[in-house]
Homo-oligomer: A and B are copies of this chain.
Amino acid sequence: MKENTANTDKPVSIGVFDSGIGGLTVVKTLRAAIKEANIVYLGDTARVPYGTKSEETIKRFAREDTVFLIEKGVDLIVVACNTASSVALSYLKREFKDIPIFGVVEPGVNMALNASKTGKIGIIGTIATIKSHAHRKLLNKQGVLKVYEKACPLFVPLAEEGLTKGQIPRLVAEYYLHDLKEKVDTLILGCTHYPILMDTIKEVLGEQIKLIDPAYALALQVKSFLNNNGMIKNTGENGTLDLYLTDIPPHYHSLLSIFLGFTPDTIEKVDLKDISRC
């Protein structure tokens, strides 16, 4: 484990990575829970999305993202991307034993277990997340055997297009979710983009189905880890948010406003080419 920062004056630095901009929904939740922390965010916008790609490629990308954040000197790493969490988290933990790494799958599953009354839990995510069965395996271990999985590839481009309300997203949500309606009482939103579509998903599924945004449980898990290790300084000041992107896409202003809603302290384009050689 990395030496913790309890004895220094520097605020804790949390590294967060995601395949793109979507992970900023997790950053927002982390900031609300742990406002003093500095956040270093890497969005792999040059290679986004990960969710349609193979396990091997996702692991390679996740490794490069992790090396980048470690080189930035962060104290711990959050894998905000559900796809990378589902496919690559155990691999990253094995490869990088000196730094704590948190994913969004386990917190989401625990939150769903607490919320569900019938033990019938659903999970929606990218093609790669669903194909990994990461959530199902964890739920099965906890004795939950009825798990319903559904890949919803169109939700990401809908959210990025800002098309979150109205007939089109409602029909797409019905297309994906109509057979989940009667089967589950709790649904994990297993992709950082999906909370943006929360209202539409609620409209389609009805109020009786609980929607789980794993970011909340993840933020609490990270906060509790920091507290237990004396790593939070109660300075009363807001931490910084430094954004690193592997590409600055033409529409990034609109993406930032959809997913973050405030302006980061710095935005910088970076190249992971050197890291590819690790």
Contact = CB atoms under 8 A, between A and B. Distances in A.
Interface of A: 45-48, 52-54, 56-57, 127-128, 131, 153-154, 156-158, 160-161, 163, 167-168, 171-172, 175, 246-251, 273, 276-277
A48 B50 CA distance: 10
Contact of A47 (B46, B175, B249, B251): B46
Contacts of A47: 46-47
Given A154-B157, A167-B171, 17 more contacts: A45-B53, A46-B47, A46-B57, A47-B47, A52-B160, A53-B247, A54-B248, A54-B249, A127-B249, A127-B250, A128-B250, A131-B250, A153-B160, A154-B158, A168-B171, A168-B175, A273-B276
Contacts of A54: 247-250
27 contacts: A45-B53, A46-B53, A46-B57, A47-B47, A48-B52, A52-B160, A52-B249, A52-B250, A53-B247, A53-B249, A54-B249, A56-B247, A57-B247, A128-B250, A131-B250, A153-B157, A153-B160, A153-B161, A154-B157, A154-B161, A154-B163, A156-B157, A163-B175, A167-B171, A168-B172, A171-B171, A273-B276
A172 B45 CA distance: 25
Contacts of A249: 52-54, 127
Which of A57, A131, A273 has the most C-beta atoms of chain B within 10 angstroms of its own C-beta? A57
Contacts of A56: 247
A131 B249 CA distance: 11
Contacts of A158: 154
Nearest 6 CB-CB pairs, A to B? A57-B247, A157-B157, A47-B47, A53-B247, A131-B250, A168-B171
A11 to B, nearest CB: 32
